[in-house]
Amino acid sequence: MEPNRIAVSCRGLTKSYGTGDAQTLALRGIDLSIRYGELLMLVGPSGSGKTTLLSIIAGILDQDAGQCVVLDHDSRTMDATERARFRGRSIGFVFQTFNLLPSLTVVENVAVPLLINGTPRKTAAKRARGMLDAFDLGGRAKALPTQLSGGQQQRVAIARALIHAPKLIVCDEPTSNLDHTAGHHVMELLRREAQVPDRALVVVTHDSRIFEFADRIAHMDDGRIVEVTNGTTQEATPQ
């Protein structure tokens, strides 16, 4: 693999919600590149545009202007079927609100991305159980999401995002419901996933306790990236 190959390239991204007086400019021109093998964190105040940017990178929201190329794909050149297939195969999401399917058990939730990609049911369930073990949830495989604590639901959502070994993993506040120990455990798992060649991770967080896991941190404010620093040393680096 070429060193420093680019997994995600955003250029001049803008996004607004609503119209007229009710219009909110959520992104005001975002330039950002994420390399393969990199764990990039997006940080910034509430409302600064982190989830909006993550949603565009993940292909679940369209920008108004600018370009976003993800794993050599520009979603604007793909039709709805191609987009869905690309997302299903190549991207793992952890949503801020988990989005677990309430009528499926924990193990069934985790197996969903494999089933979507055509893995036989038995193989999918076996791999899902293995992933749950890695997240200390083996004993809760048959529970429904509503029977779990917030932290447990969060870990199920992360297990589901990783199960099909996607090349890009995007996580919105993955440690917000976890205590220090569980948060570190999850970040160690995510960090390990990011170090697989040909893979990249983007993590939105408010949680300064996990900054040490980042390769770089992009600081957002009012729809802009105002600074990019190194995760551990906090030195400024080029965008």
Ligand X SMILES: Nc1ncnc2c1ncn2[C@@H]1O[C@H](COP(=O)(O)OP(=O)(O)OP(=O)(O)O)[C@@H](O)[C@H]1O
| Residues making contact with Mg ion (CB under 5 A) | 51
| Residues making contact with ligand X (CB under 6 A) | 17-18, 24, 26, 44, 46-52, 96
Q: How far is the CB of 144 from Mg ion (least distance, A)?
A: 26
Which positions ≥6 away from 2 have C-beta within 8 Å? none
176 binds, among ligand X, Mg ion, none (CB under 5 to 8 A by kind): none
- Measured from the CB atom, is 63 or 105 closer to ligand X? 63
- Measured from the CB atom, is 125 or 171 closer to Mg ion? 171
**What stretch of H or E contains 153?**
helix 150-162
CB 194 within 8 A of CB 213: no
SS3 of residue 140 by DSSP: helix
What string of H, E and C letters represents the secondary structure of 94-116?
ECCCCCCCCCCCHHHHHHHHHHH
Q: How far is the CB of 223 from Mg ion (least distance, A)?
A: 13
48 binds, among ligand X, Mg ion, none (CB under 5 to 8 A by kind): ligand X
- Measured from the CB atom, is 90 or 96 closer to Mg ion? 96
- Measured from the CB atom, is 25 or 78 closer to ligand X? 25
Angle formed by the axes of helices 180-194 and 150-162, nearest 10°: 10
CB 225 within 8 A of CB 239: yes
Q: How far is the CB of 16 from ligand X (least distance, A)?
A: 8
Q: How far is the CB of 63 from ligand X (least distance, A)?
A: 12
DSSP character at residue 215: S
Give the Cα separation of 225 and 221 in Å (integer): 6
109 binds, among Mg ion, ligand X, none (CB under 5 to 8 A by kind): none
Give the Cα separation of 200 and 57 in Å (integer): 12
18 binds, among ligand X, Mg ion, none (CB under 5 to 8 A by kind): ligand X
19 binds, among Mg ion, ligand X, none (CB under 5 to 8 A by kind): none
Q: How far is the CB of 108 from ligand X (least distance, A)?
A: 28
